[in-house]
Amino acid sequence: MLSGRKETLKFDEIGEFGFIESIKNECITTLKDVIKGIGDDCAVFGPYSGRVLLFTTDMLVEDIHFVKAKITPYQLGWKSIAVNLSDIAAMGGRPLILLISLAIPSEMDVEIIQDLYKGMKDICEHYKVNIVGGDTVASPDKLVINVSLIGDAKENEVLYRSGARAGDSIYLTGNIGDSFAGLKILKKEISPSEPIASHFIKIHNEPKPLIETGMAIAASGFANAMIDVSDGLLSDLGHICKESDVGAILFRSKVPLSSELKLLASREKFNPLKLALSGGEDYILLLTVPQINIKDFEIVCKDKGLLPLYLIGKIVEGKGIKMVNDDGSLEEIDIKGFNHFSPSLL
Amino acid sequence: MLSGRKETLKFDEIGEFGFIESIKNECITTLKDVIKGIGDDCAVFGPYSGRVLLFTTDMLVEDIHFVKAKITPYQLGWKSIAVNLSDIAAMGGRPLILLISLAIPSEMDVEIIQDLYKGMKDICEHYKVNIVGGDTVASPDKLVINVSLIGDAKENEVLYRSGARAGDSIYLTGNIGDSFAGLKILKKEISPSEPIASHFIKIHNEPKPLIETGMAIAASGFANAMIDVSDGLLSDLGHICKESDVGAILFRSKVPLSSELKLLASREKFNPLKLALSGGEDYILLLTVPQINIKDFEIVCKDKGLLPLYLIGKIVEGKGIKMVNDDGSLEEIDIKGFNHFSPSLL
């Protein structure tokens, strides 16, 4: 037996995805009712009375996910729940009830917590979700918010990351990049004048999860796979490819960018597509639809008012994501997501 | 309209319970399926296929709820899930699935997280609970753990804090105070020799939630109300009294203390009852049983091997908790719980 040198790896050397990968297979499911454990936007279990339950959680830590000076308490409350709602939207589900855990520095003004809570209450009212409890504890210094949310969906309608098949078309339900531009403005990496700055900051701080859109897509029965764009288009499309064991091709000219972003990019001299592809927190939906369903799907979406809808690429056999340039040439893409282990707000 | 002086209350001036009280009535339940929101050990919703779902969460923050030097990573993992399981036990439920959120300092050794996770995995296997996902994020300095857990129970068996009625007998399912003695040893407030110190520390760091006991009590149909002793006997009995709008009388000589605690107290010269009443984290069950059911209840408990079971008092009309002394005199008690806003481990 070799007496090897003891490794003392630090957590940021393996990162979130490395850690999850290392434990994923050990979370043995002893219960037949667990339909999906680790590896999607939500866990799925049931069925109960013909429906499955969706279960998701997100933690926001001060100075990692937010900086007090750059988001109002109201917006922070709103956003901490919005990111969870978006996970339910990504499965095609309906949000039902949630629990809020708060770790609060003792010296924090009560008013901040009340405003935070008002943002939470308003988004819950808007999306008809109930706050049914939580845990409120002290924190030595940083504010920490954890939300855990239960939703449900019809058993046969749930959309997983793993459902994509070669030949599927890839759709986005909105523009990408605006949120990341807002983050760059908050970080003072770019400094446009008002009201442009506020426009992008608001998109970053007050995401609107697409619950109705997700439910309508799931109910249509035409899609194969879905995810919300939280880590960034490339990273999230990468999740779909990995879970579905497929590759993808993106059409460079079809990636939807807002006119505001294009204008900002031309003024501030950056490549808006590059920013949009590597950014995150768009909280729109990314889905794949088999070729045979495309016509019907687009008609249904139009009827239900689910536009905009952008066809941005194709699922293919193999691995990895390639980009089709305007001249028809293919380019391999290095997937770089939005990694909170490289604190992006500091 | 008066233009009053703006108050700038700090969070620790109103505390956890004050904050919850202030928001409790605003968490409007728009969904008919929410049977119980804020105010019990778990939220209760459904029914689904004749069963209700139980939903609970707990957050543990480094240097508030634990100090790295005083608990092993394995124990911390075990305990962070045990406290949630105990909330399910308190409703008479069965735990099913859970999500784990971890905020991890980047510089933390991966080995610590792996040991933490091993403790989590072991308790989950022991209680047949599935880890179905979570969120792993960076933290600027402190380790933060949030667990959210779903369980279920038969709709007509769930035991609430609000079910106690005047005339009920009050039972405890085990000794109290040992965990708090362990905490005092960890804090070096008392310093017994080994193996005594380790005995109490182990009880504090490795609680064993009473899932089987809780389920058997609920299934018996004989109890009116139940809670787990996490904040401390007086505080938790106070929760039952408040939610049930009743008072309580405790029999001083009947409060169960372990022989180890009594021995420790005589050596270290403290009042073991006082310590036991004000301490917390016992994670045994406190329940009330109507007079008419007592005989049958005790027989069922004996048959099912649910001993020990201690009759420690009575629910009465009115408010507050009184203590019957050995000489028959009544003493009013000031409820002092275990308040994490007065960081107890530092």
Length of chain A: 346
| Separation CA A176–CA A207 (nearest Å) | 12
Domains of chain B, residue spans = 11-154, 161-332
Q: Which two tokens stand for residue A200?
A: 């992008």
Looking at residue B48, its pLDDT comes to: 79
CA torsion A24→A210→A289→A16, rounded to 10°?
-20
Looking at residue A307, its pLDDT comes to: 76
- What is the rounded average pLDDT of the residues A180-199? 93
Looking at residue A36, its pLDDT comes to: 82
Looking at residue A340, its pLDDT comes to: 38
Looking at residue A5, its pLDDT comes to: 44
Q: Which residues of chain A have a CB within 8 Å of the CB of B23?
A: 117, 121
| Separation CA A294–CA A316 (nearest Å) | 16
B1 touches chain A (CB under 8 A): no
Computed over every residue of chain A, the mean pLDDT equals 89
φ, ψ for residue B169, nearest 5 deg: -90, 145
CA proximity to B146, closest of B201, B65, B74: B65
pLDDT tens digits, chain B, 346 residues: what are they? 444 444 577 777 777 667 767 766 666 556 667 888 887 888 888 777 788 999 999 999 999 999 989 999 999 999 999 999 999 999 999 999 999 999 999 889 989 999 999 999 999 999 999 999 999 999 999 999 999 999 999 999 999 999 999 999 999 999 999 999 999 999 999 999 999 999 999 999 999 999 999 999 999 999 999 999 998 999 999 999 999 999 999 999 999 999 999 999 999 999 999 899 988 899 999 999 999 999 999 999 888 887 789 999 999 999 999 999 888 898 888 755 434 333 343 3
How far does Cα A95 stand from its chain's mean position? 16
Q: Mark yes or no for CB contact A130/B16 under 8 Å.
A: no
| B75 to chain A, closest Cα gap in Å | 18
Asked if residues A54 and A152 have their Cβ atoms less than 8 Å apart, the reply is yes
CA proximity to A54, closest of A24, A19, A91: A91
Q: Which residue has the higher pLDDT, A12 or A7?
A: A12
| pLDDT band of A2, cuts 50, 70, 90 | very low
DSSP bridge partners of A102: A136, A145
A35 touches chain B (CB under 8 A): no
Length of chain B: 346
CA proximity to B227, closest of B176, B313, B154, B288: B288
Beta-carbon neighbour count of residue A237 at 10 Å?
A: 28
Looking at residue A337, its pLDDT comes to: 43
Q: Is residue A292 classed as helix, strand or coil in its secondary structure?
A: helix
Asked if residues B286 and B224 have their Cβ atoms less than 8 Å apart, the reply is no
- Best CATH choice for the domain A161-332 from the list 3.90.650.10, 3.30.70.100, 2.40.40.20, 2.60.120.10: 3.90.650.10
Which residue in the block uniquely carries the two structure tokens 């969706």?
Answer: A54
- Give the architecture-level CATH label for domain A11-154: 2-Layer Sandwich (3.30)
In sequence order, the 6+-apart residues with CB closer than 8 A to the CB of B170 are B237, B248, B250, B286, B287, B288, B311, B312, B313, B314, B315
Scan residues 268-327 of A and list those with Cβ closer than 8 Å to B.
none
Q: Mark yes or no for CB contact A108/B28 under 8 Å.
A: no
| pLDDT band of A197, cuts 50, 70, 90 | very high
DSSP conformational letter for A311? E
Looking at residue A335, its pLDDT comes to: 59
Name the strand (E) or helix (H) holding B45: strand B43-48
Q: Mark yes or no for CB contact B343/A138 under 8 Å.
A: yes
Looking at residue A346, its pLDDT comes to: 33
B162 touches chain A (CB under 8 A): no
| pLDDT band of A25, cuts 50, 70, 90 | low
Looking at residue B214, its pLDDT comes to: 96
What is the ipTM metric for this complex?
A: 0.89
A345 touches chain B (CB under 8 A): no
Q: Mark yes or no for CB contact A19/B125 under 8 Å.
A: no
* Tens of pLDDT, residues A205-262: 999 999 999 999 999 999 999 999 998 999 999 999 999 999 999 999 999 999 999 9
* Tens of pLDDT, residues A127-156: 999 999 999 999 999 999 999 999 999 999
| Separation CA B343–CA B12 (nearest Å) | 11
| pLDDT band of A28, cuts 50, 70, 90 | low
Asked if residues A143 and A34 have their Cβ atoms less than 8 Å apart, the reply is no
φ, ψ for residue B58, nearest 5 deg: -145, 140
Q: Which of A16, A30, A137 has its CB closest to that of B16? A: A137
